[in-house]
Amino acid sequence: MPDGSFAHPQQRQFNPYTDNGGTILAIAGADFTVIAGDTRQSEGYSIQTRYAPKVFRLTDRAVLAVNGFAADGNMFVKKVKQRLEWYRHAHAKDMPLRAIARLIQTMLYAQRFFPYYVYNILGGIEEDGSGAVYSFDPVGSYEREACRAAGAAQSLVQPFLDNQIYFKNQKAAPGTSHPTHLPLSDVLSIVIDSFTSATERHIEVGDGLEIYVVVARGRSPQGIEGIRGVQELSAQPNGDRTFILRRELKKD
């Protein structure tokens, strides 16, 4: 110590975690789900890269967004994908969404005493054809919701979603009621607005935006194919369909 005492010997302890910033978000529609994340990866005040995906396609009807400590996130996605492949080999079909959600809980809780420092949001289509979002904490607590934001700008985005998706603090016009699910075009606008707002006010959010849209089998993709720069990822157009939509965000 500067005063010459050694009451507290100096020690550098290795810290196995870091925070790589970024934000993710998912919204469920009646027969579709939108899962999005920005593509910036940072450590402290340094931007490591402007393109590091945080959203991953797991199956034809499941997409996982991962946010927090990037190394844990990538490893976790890798292991989930491996488990899903094993399931495919054992059962000759893709694991259903609610089962993936439970799998993720068990995998996270298995690491209860050395957790994956990661917030997960799982989105996709349920077996009944409804859009679904599952959100998790780092040790596996989870619930099904209609919408969820996580990561660096969670506190900026979530109250905005409460207002625009759940119509919180809003009263429907006399004789009408709020819709339980929004059309795809409205959801996409809200997602893009959320990320532009978060980019404006949070230094760890920006660079690029990746939006995955999963549409239930036999349901209308509501004109998404006409949107600028949309790319379809699904193999056969008669099953569940997955689209990806990329947008630039401010880079400062």
Partner 1 sequence: MDHFPTNWGRPRNDAFDAYGTYPIHQRAPVKDTFAEGVQHTQQPIVTGTSVLAIQYKDGIMMAADNLASYGSLARFKDVRRLHAVGTSTVIGASGDMSDFQAIQSILDDLVTDEFTHGDGHDLGPAEVHEYLSRVMYARRSKINPLWNSLLVGGFRDGKRFLGYVDLLGTTYSAPSIATGYGAYIAIPLLRAAVDGKQDQLTEENAKKILHECMRVLFYRDARSLDKYQIATVSAAGVTISDQIQIETAWGFAEGIRGYGAQTQ
Partner 2 sequence: MSIMEYNGGSVIAMVGKDCVAIASDLRLGNQALGISSNFQKIFQMTDRIFLGLPGLATDVTTLKETFRYRVNMYTIKEERELEPETFAHMVSSALYERRFGPYFIEPVMCGLQKTHTGEYKPFIAATDLIGCLNFAKDFVVAGTASTKLYGVAEGLWEPDLEPEDLFETCAQTLLNAVDRDAYSGWGAEVYVLTKDKVIRRTLKGRMD
Nearer to partner 1, 124 or 206 (CB): 206
Q: How far is the CB of 198 from partner 1 (least distance, A)?
A: 21
Closest contact distance (angstroms) between CB of 14 and partner 2 is: 29
- Long-range CB pairs of 218-221 (<8 Å, 24+ gap) are 218/129, 219/31, 219/32, 219/129, 221/32, 221/184
Contact between 114 and partner 1 per CB under 8 A: yes
C-alpha–C-alpha distance, residues 139 and 135, integer Å: 12
Rounded distance between C-alpha atoms, residue 34 and residue 181, angstroms? 12
For residue 228, the minimal CB distance to partner 2 (Å) is 22
Of residues 212, 197, 118, 214, the one with CA closest to residue 158? 197
Distances (CA, A) of 2 to 10, 12, 13, 21, 189: 12, 17, 21, 35, 57
In the complex, least distance from residue 232 CB atom to partner 1, rounded to whole angstroms: 25
Query: Which two tokens mark 57?
Result: 């396609």
Q: Where are the beta strands (DSSP E) in 112-252?
A: 118-125, 131-136, 142-145, 147-151, 208-215, 230-232, 241-248
Binds partner 1 (CB under 8 A): choice among 26, 34, 35, 52: 52
Look at strands 147-151 and 46-49 and give their pairing: unpaired
Q: And the tokens for 24?
A: 């993710």
Q: Tell me if 113 contacts partner 1 by CB under 8 A.
A: no
Stretch that binds partner 1, among 8-16, 56-64, 82-90, 94-102 (CB under 8 A): 8-16
Is 41 an interacting residue with respect to partner 1 (CB under 8 A)?
A: yes
- Minimum Å distance from CB 237 to partner 1? 30
Residue selected from 20, 120, 135, 164 as contacting partner 1 according to rule CB under 8 A: 20
Q: Which residues bind partner 2 (CB under 8 A)?
A: 153, 155-160, 162-164, 168-170, 193-194, 197-198, 200-201
Under 8 Å between Cβ of 25 and 157: yes
For residue 237, the partner it binds in partner 1, partner 2, none, with Cβ less than 5 to 8 A by kind, is none
Binding residues (CB under 8 A) for partner 1: these are 1, 4, 6, 9-14, 16-18, 20, 41, 43, 46, 48-52, 69-71, 74-75, 114
